Structure 1
Amino acid sequence: MKFAEPWGRQRLSFLLEKAASREAKMWKVYVPKKPSSQDTDISPAQRDEAVRWLTELHGRLQLYPETLVLAVSMLDRFLAPIKARPKYLRCIAIACFFLAAKTCEEDECVPSLKELAASSSCGCSPSEILRMERIILDKLNWDLHTATALDFLHIFHAMVLSCRSGFLDSMLGLNRSQHLALLTQRLYHCLADHTLIQLRGSMLALALFTLELETCCPDWLALTIELLRKAQIDSSELIRSRELVARSLSTLRASLPPNTIYIYQPLQPTPPCCTLGTFDFYIRLPKNKNEELEMSRIGGSVAAGSQLICLHAQVEEMEVDDFYDGIKRLYNEDVTTSTAAVQEGATTGGGGGGGGLPVQQEGSSSPCPPLQPASAS
């Protein structure tokens, strides 16, 4: 849905009623399939991987958000009543994407089938995609115009802004387009989560939007109740949906991969006691089978102690105090080991030949040995 000018409240109510009516006609309750062999049916994880693949392709082609959301909707509608082998999944997904592009995009923006097959690396020829396209149309009764979660998200967003036009600038510092783009990116993430297939598009959009309202709008509850009334959605159903969506969005802040490396960079040179700095997070990615690994930065910062630390371990949540204690113990162990080595060298080196290392005097602040007066020969 593309907004050319601000919509009146009556117009928005009409659009919401029309979208809800269309959804009620097209929506079918999701029935989980019985577990089966990976070779005979597409698993939920494989479905999610295909949606993420379409999302990446959509980003490269820079098409309308409506194209991606409609493609995922067609994919789920097609897979729900049938069993398809995993080897056909990408062919099904790219055919849904091509149908969605021809439905939502301007004619000059629709990629050619040959270009789409080559750029997507789907492993299918244009003729195979065309045959799959015909199968999908037959299964969907040639009816592709359904109300998607993005349609409802646009309507709910416009409804709130029609009565709270300034809350974005005051609370978030974002304009209307930027805020809607942020919500759309979160919707993309939700679409790639099979646990949310059970939610209608209107419910998914309302749960996603009200979770955002709760963080940035003081009277979010009153706005949520008003949206519930206009959409004619039960409050208990919304509460359950919000929990599912919040759980899905929490994975956006998932921990880093197990082979993450931390490289500490101090802000300024200071004595080794309690310096604060930043950690740069890296992950090792192979260029190819014959070349060495390169470091690919994936970002982040955190406060820590003063020593340079490189760890090849999985990220675990820990308290800040425990983290600092670990740094202190590491530093103290190093100092103790070094001191013991020096003492041992001084003991085994023996007397007057000067072969032993002098031990640092107690109370001295410098690790260097004190100067000795020159002896007269």
Structure 2
Amino acid sequence: MKITPSCLLKLSVVTIGVTGLKGSRGEARDKGRPSKLRKMIDQVTGAGALPFAVQLKALLDQEARYQPKLCGLRVIESAQDNGLRMTVKLRDFQVRDLLSLTRFFGFSSETFSLAVNLLDRFLAVMKIQPKHLACVGLCCFYIAVKTSEEEKSVPLASDLLRISQNRFTVHDMMRMEKIILEKLYWKVKAPTALHFLRFFHSQIQEQVDAESKRLLNIERLEAQLKACHCSFTFTKMKPSLLALALLALETEDQHECEPVPALREALHALQDTLSVKAGDLVCVRELVAKCLAEYATTKCLKPNGQRLRWMISGRTARQLKHSYYKIAHLPTIPEYAC
């Protein structure tokens, strides 16, 4: 199905405001979103008391259901850059824009990872035109914000439009939001690579000594994951495998440090639990290393690579926190020496 202007105009205006995913529309919101999954993700990212094996099984059981369809991703991968079809390059540009917005508002890594998941899943089932990509991306971002952030931190759709400098209207966003949620069967809160990364990191930290714990910094790992999200290469990979590869690469980078054998042992135990072949892990680890190396170069187009001229109203400016204006010019991955 193609999304055309006439298609958008025929859709009725459905108001999905700040409470659209958390408020009175609970029955529609929960359609296709098992309460078991929502509780499991909350326990994984929080202080869950369930055993590791139980939590892991629940996440792995849901993992495949929340991945983008491979057939749709291959269509994007094979598309020519003629301005008429979605391409890999356009997708990556859009994800970088979402990362810029995430940093501007000070939203969490969970919000960004979920927005990327929603965007990739939607692009894999719908043939959209490039001119509609900005609207799709911003709506996926807004859904993720309303799902992951506290209600008081959720901006108005009109303010989000002004800050992102897009030319469509709030009504366009509402119609597109409805399309996205229906095409994804209201399955919003997905187990992302970030969930697996935090989960695996927590499990490894419980098995190593204090010195080894210091070497695996979760903030650095999450920054690396964000860089990977900006590359279409990883859309076809299982989130659990990507998370494991990030941990494996970080452990390998600490080879000069004495406590590394403890980290490697814990990582191998995790690899065995996941039944991941050594060859598959090495392949993905090399792809991650290549992605991070390209991200570190000056030639790579990073999010916030150019200073944006935000067009905001006085009311919006008063609502924004002071920290929003103190964002680093380039989002670099933090480095920690052992």
Q: When the two structures are superposed, what TM-score results if normalisation uses the length of structure 1?
A: 0.62
Deviation at 1:67, TM superposition (A): 0.7
Letter in 2 for 1:23: E
1:175-186 paired onto structure 2 within 5 Å:
179-186=217-224
Contact preservation (8 Å) 1:183, 1:209: yes
Letter in 2 for 1:14: V
Query: Distance between the aligned counterparts of 1:103 and 1:169, measured in 2?
Result: 31
Deviation at 1:117, TM superposition (A): 1.1
Query: Distance between the aligned counterparts of 1:165 and 1:110, measured in 2?
Result: 40
CA deviations 1:152-211 (Å, max 9, x no partner) are 0000100110111413566x4xxx8xx211111111100000112121111111101111
Contact preservation (8 Å) 1:149, 1:204: yes
Letter in 2 for 1:12: F
| Number of equivalences | 255
Contact preservation (8 Å) 2:92, 2:232: yes
Moved more, 96-105 or 236-245: 236-245
Query: Distance between the aligned counterparts of 2:181 and 2:62, measured in 1?
Result: 18
Task: Confirm or deny that 1:13 pairs with 2:53.
Answer: yes
Contact preservation (8 Å) 1:40, 1:83: no
Query: Distance between the aligned counterparts of 1:113 and 1:235, measured in 2?
Result: 46
Task: Confirm or deny that 1:76 pairs with 2:140.
Answer: no
Listed as ranges, the gaps of 5+ residues in structure 1 are: 258-282, 288-296, 299-377
Task: Confirm or deny that 1:218 pairs with 2:256.
Answer: no
Higher RCO, 1 vs 2 (CA within 8 Å, ≥6 residues apart)? 2
Query: Distance between the aligned counterparts of 1:225 and 1:218, measured in 2?
Result: 12
Q: 2:83 aligns with which of 39, 61, 79?
A: 39
1:317-332 paired onto structure 2 within 5 Å:
none
Deviation at 1:231, TM superposition (A): 2.2
Letter in 2 for 1:224: L
Cα distance change on mapping 1:232 and 1:27 into 2, 3 Å: farther
Partner of 1:250: 293
Deviation at 1:235, TM superposition (A): 2.5
Deviation at 1:37, TM superposition (A): 5.1
Partner of 2:127: helix, strand, or coil?
coil
Quick one: percent identity of the two aligned structures? 29
- Looking at secondary structure, tell me which structure has more helix per residue: 2
Task: Confirm or deny that 1:48 pairs with 2:88.
Answer: no
Contact preservation (8 Å) 2:205, 2:213: no
Letter in 2 for 1:249: L
Letter in 2 for 1:215: D
Cα distance change on mapping 1:121 and 1:16 into 2, 3 Å: same
Task: Confirm or deny that 1:138 pairs with 2:175.
Answer: no
Task: Confirm or deny that 1:61 pairs with 2:105.
Answer: yes
What is the RMSD of the two structures over their aligned residues, measured on CA atoms?
A: 2.6
CA deviations 1:286-329 (Å, max 9, x no partner) are x9xxxxxxxxx99xxxxxxxxxxxxxxxxxxxxxxxxxxxxxxx
Q: When the two structures are superposed, what TM-score results if normalisation uses the length of structure 2?
A: 0.69
Q: 1:237 aligns with which of 252, 262, 280?
A: 280
Partner of 2:146: 102
Deviation at 1:255, TM superposition (A): 4.1
Q: 1:23 aligns with which of 63, 71, 93?
A: 63
Query: Distance between the aligned counterparts of 1:253 and 1:239, measured in 2?
Result: 21
Larger Rg: 1
Listed as ranges, the gaps of 5+ residues in structure 2 are: 1-41, 310-328, 331-338
Query: Distance between the aligned counterparts of 2:63 and 2:85, measured in 1?
Result: 27
Query: Distance between the aligned counterparts of 1:56 and 1:124, measured in 2?
Result: 19
Deviation at 1:224, TM superposition (A): 2.3
Task: Confirm or deny that 1:92 pairs with 2:136.
Answer: yes
